[in-house]
């Protein structure tokens, strides 16, 4: 493995070299565990104490820390972004060679690029289109009429139902299901009658989806996900959700049917968006929150912060007293108003 010189990396990520520009690095590591040949990064002040003792051949640093660092450094304003760029350069994720494994089952009407890699036991349905340099790994199922854009990677055991479109450079992790039926039923005197889900799913470019997520197809029109959307593991988008470009959602979060999440929004872990809600662009919701109304741009919270068990019990007891307290306050207000009137009559 040839690695990269600091000069090469600096040119690729827009950094300044301090020290030996010819120094070569071969892997990325944490600042406390790095050894010779590794490049580390420091973005969290919590780890600043390791800077003097690190064995890394180079460290990605902000200018204020680089000024007093005697070792080799790549200097830029956002070291964490620099870490991301360098990690891409030094990525060791195995790549499949182009070609179709003999065990794959591909419909005669499907179109698969010659540069795509189709692994063991993959099933590709009728009229599906697999773009250039795609990697479809073992046991994936791609339904009829699907379109998978160029350079998209599906890890093992991803299931894509019929009539789903995924843009370019997507990454979808194992166990995720895209295009399953939304929760649509009508009630006939206590008996549930299924509403067929006729829409598909349309996903833009640069989408990344974690493991074991579920994205439902639309009831009539498709569920739509924009460009550069990032979903953590264990997320759910229900039928006809519109999820805007450059937005992100952390683990255990879900968006109910026909809700809209605007662009540049962030939903932290275990956030619940109820149905038919509209989040405008630039909405940020903190962990554990339940959103029951539409929101304008801004930051919102509804989850309870952690407290000691004693405090929590006391808080719960007070909550149970709120109704009686409200009645008492209302009664006191009436008595105050009565006293004011009596005083005014004097």
Crossing angle (nearest 10°) for helices 6-13 and 79-89: 110
Sheet strands side by side (includes 159-160):
105-106, 123-124, 141-142, 159-160, 177-180, 214-216, 236-237, 254-255, 272-273, 290-291
Strands 58-61 vs 38-41: parallel, antiparallel or unpaired: parallel
The residues, ordered by sequence, that sit 6+ positions from 187 with a Cβ below 8 Å of its Cβ are: 193
Q: Is the dihedral of CA 85, 87, 92, 96 positive or negative?
A: negative
Q: Catalytic site residues? A: 239
| Rounded Cα gap, residues 178 and 142, in angstroms | 10
d(CA 172, CA 248): 14
Contact 178, 172 (CB under 8 A): yes
122 exposed, middle or buried (CB, 10 Å; 0-12, 13-18, 19+)?
Answer: buried
Give me the DSSP letters along 233-264. SS-EE-TT-EE-TT-EE-TT-EE-TT-EE-TT
């Amino acid at each position: 493995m040839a690695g990269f010189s600091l000069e090469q990396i600096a040119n690729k990520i827009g950094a300044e070299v301090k020290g030996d520009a010819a120094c070569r690095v071969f892997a990325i590591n944490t600042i406390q565990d790095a050894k010779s040949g590794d490049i580390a990064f420091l973005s969290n002040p919590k780890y600043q104490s390791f800077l003097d003792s690190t064995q890394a051949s180079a460290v990605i640093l902000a200018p204020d820390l680089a000024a007093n660092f005697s070792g080799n450094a790549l200097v830029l304003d956002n070291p964490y972004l620099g870490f991301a760029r360098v990690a891409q350069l030094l990525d060791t994720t195995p790549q499949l060679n182009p070609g179709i494994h003999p065990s794959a089952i591909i419909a005669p009407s499907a179109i698969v690029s010659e540069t795509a890699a189709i692994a063991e036991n993959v099933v590709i349905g009728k009229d599906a289109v697999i773009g250039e340099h795609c990697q479809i790994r073992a046991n994936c199922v791609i339904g009829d009429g699907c379109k998978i854009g160029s350079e998209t990677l599906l890890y093992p055991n991803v299931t894509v139902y019929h009539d789903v479109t995924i843009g370019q450079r997507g990454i979808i992790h194992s166990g995720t299901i895209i295009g399953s039926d939304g929760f649509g039923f009508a009630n006939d005197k206590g008996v549930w009658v299924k509403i067929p889900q006729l829409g598909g799913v349309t996903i833009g470019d640069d989408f990344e989806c974690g493991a074991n997520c579920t994205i439902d197809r639309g009831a009539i029109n498709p569920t739509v996900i924009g460009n550069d959307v990032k979903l953590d593991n264990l997320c759910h988008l229900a039928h006809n959700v519109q999820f805007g470009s450059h937005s992100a959602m952390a683990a255990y979060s879900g968006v109910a049917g026909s809700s809209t999440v605007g662009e540049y929004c962030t939903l932290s872990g275990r956030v619940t968006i109820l149905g038919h809600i509209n989040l405008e662009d630039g909405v940020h919701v903190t962990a554990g929150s339940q959103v029951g109304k539409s929101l304008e741009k801004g930051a919102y919270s509804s989850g309870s912060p952690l407290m000691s068990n004693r405090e929590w019990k006391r808080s719960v007891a007070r909550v149970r007293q709120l109704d009686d307290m409200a009645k008492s306050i209302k009664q006191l207000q009436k008595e105050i108003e009565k006293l004011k009137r009596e005083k005014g009559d004097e």
